[in-house]
Amino acid sequence: MDFVSVERGDVAVLTIDRQEKLNALNPQVVEEIGQALLELEAEGPRAVVVTGAGERSFVAGADISAMNEMDPLEAKRFSEIGHAAMALLDRSPIPTIAAVNGYALGGGCEVAIACDIRIAAENATFGFPEVGLGILPGMGGTQRLPRLIGPALAKELIFTGRRIGAEKAREIGLVNRVVPQGEALNVAREVAAEIARNGPLAVRYAKAAVNRSADVDLVSGLEYEADQFALLFATEDAREGMGAFVEKRKPEFGGR
Ligand code: CO8
């Protein structure tokens, strides 16, 4: 892969690295992100951190020069490969954490909001500049942003194209935490390590259950939760986790 590197381990780190263009996403970069996430899903780390190379930018959006050459069918294809890659972040059973260093604009913001959790450095900048280019957020932004921060704030951000800083992003619920510049990746790794200490099947099923809350009514969501809860009682992890508590020792989860 030319633009994506993966550090493997219990906590995997996927880095988007196209620094001369502030990590802007052309079709190849998007394909590589999708490919790397597919491989990781098969390998099954306990958590995946996604970040951009360098201090200036997480991802400064989709590559505008590349999009300037696209016809509608190519644009549709670009959007679709983007959707497929983003689905591997929020629909994957593995928790995903964005470590947002610098610019997260347009498609960059869409990568960040497709992750389960966002840690932003103080210098992070968020925004959806698409309408200023005569286009719209085509990698999930019009759907995920209102689910995350509510339709009114989402519409304000998308219709104005206004950029906001990390603190404002935290205030409106766009990011979980703001940390000093240069620390986003370290803190994201720490959060990932915290997750990795828990029962991996429990975390997976919990992610699926929380995801379900966005798709179904409360009664159906609660039924799903009860089923997932019951299913975990068939796992060795649940016996180990509860048994360890009763025996006053630390659990050792095998993910079975
Ligand atoms: N596309 C292409 N090139 C970019 C992009 C981008 N989004 N962002 C930065 N670059 C390039 C610049 O052209 C420049 O290249 P070069 O040195 O060859 O001229 C290099 O990166 C460095 O950038 P700047 O010199 O502009 O750096 P500054 O510090 O002056 O400015 C900014 C940084 C403010 C981030 C500025 O580069 C900028 O405004 N970039 C564009 C931001 C933007 O509008 N992003 C949204 C794009 S639209 C989008 O994301 C649509 C997503 C939906 C489709 C997805 C389907 C998969």
* Dist. CA 54 → ligand 1 center (Å): 15
* Dist. CA 50 → ligand 1 center (Å): 19
Indicate the pLDDT class of residue 190, thresholds 50, 70 and 90: very high
End-to-end CA distance of the chain: 32
- Please report the pLDDT score of residue 97 as a whole number: 98
pTM: 0.97
Q: Atom 21 (ligand 1): residue with closest C-alpha? A: 21
Specify whether the CB–CB gap between 27 and 75 falls below 8 A: no
* Dist. CA 134 → ligand 1 center (Å): 15
225 classed as catalytic: no
Q: State the average pLDDT over residues 197-215.
A: 96
Beta bridge partners of 103: 57, 125
Question: Using a 6 Å cutoff on CB, does residue 86 contact ligand 1?
Answer: no
Q: Alpha-carbon torsion 49, 53, 55, 60, what sign?
A: negative
Specify whether the CB–CB gap between 43 and 8 falls below 8 A: yes
- Please report the pLDDT score of residue 237 as a whole number: 97
- Please report the pLDDT score of residue 187 as a whole number: 98
Model confidence over 83-99: pLDDT tens digits? 999 999 999 999 999 99
Q: Give, for ligand 1, the residue of 21, 86, 158 to mutate: max count of ligand atoms closer than 8 Å to Cβ.
A: 21
Calpha distance 90→137 (Å, rounded): 17
Specify whether the CB–CB gap between 148 and 113 falls below 8 A: yes
SS (H, E, C) the chain: CCCEEEECCCEEEEEECCHHHCCCECHHHHHHHHHHHHHHHHHCCCEEEEEECCCCEEECCECHHHHHCCCHHHHHHHHHHHHHHHHHHHCCCCCEEEEECCEEECHHHHHHHHCCEEEEECCCEEECHHHHHCCCCCCCHHHHHHHHHCHHHHHHHHHHCCEEEHHHHHHCCCCCEEECCCCHHHHHHHHHHHHHCCCHHHHHHHHHHHHHHCCCCHHHHHHHHHHHHHHHCCCHHHHHHHHHHHCCCCCCCCCC
Q: State the average pLDDT over residues 208-219.
A: 96
Specify whether the CB–CB gap between 112 and 98 falls below 8 A: yes
Q: Which of 65, 129, 125 is nearest to 100 (CA)?
A: 125
Calpha distance 180→18 (Å, rounded): 23
Q: What percent of the chain has pLDDT over 70?
A: 100
Ligand 1 atom nearest to 56, measured from its CA: 29
Q: Atom 36 (ligand 1): residue with closest C-alpha? A: 60
Calpha distance 255→218 (Å, rounded): 29
110 classed as catalytic: yes
Question: Using a 6 Å cutoff on CB, does residue 140 contact ligand 1?
Answer: no
Model confidence over 220-245: pLDDT tens digits? 999 999 999 999 999 999 999 999 99
Q: State the average pLDDT over residues 161-178.
A: 98
Indicate the pLDDT class of residue 45, thresholds 50, 70 and 90: very high
- For the record, the structure tokens of 133 come out as 């280019």
Question: Using a 6 Å cutoff on CB, does residue 102 contact ligand 1?
Answer: no
| CA-to-CA separations, 50 to 59, 186, 231, in angstroms, rounded | 11, 12, 30
* Dist. CA 60 → ligand 1 center (Å): 5
Model confidence over 102-157: pLDDT tens digits? 999 999 999 999 999 999 999 999 999 999 999 999 999 999 999 999 999 999 99
Kindly name the residue from 7, 110, 240, 252 that is annotated as catalytic: 110
Domains of the chain: 4-196 (3.90.226.10), 200-246 (1.10.12.10)
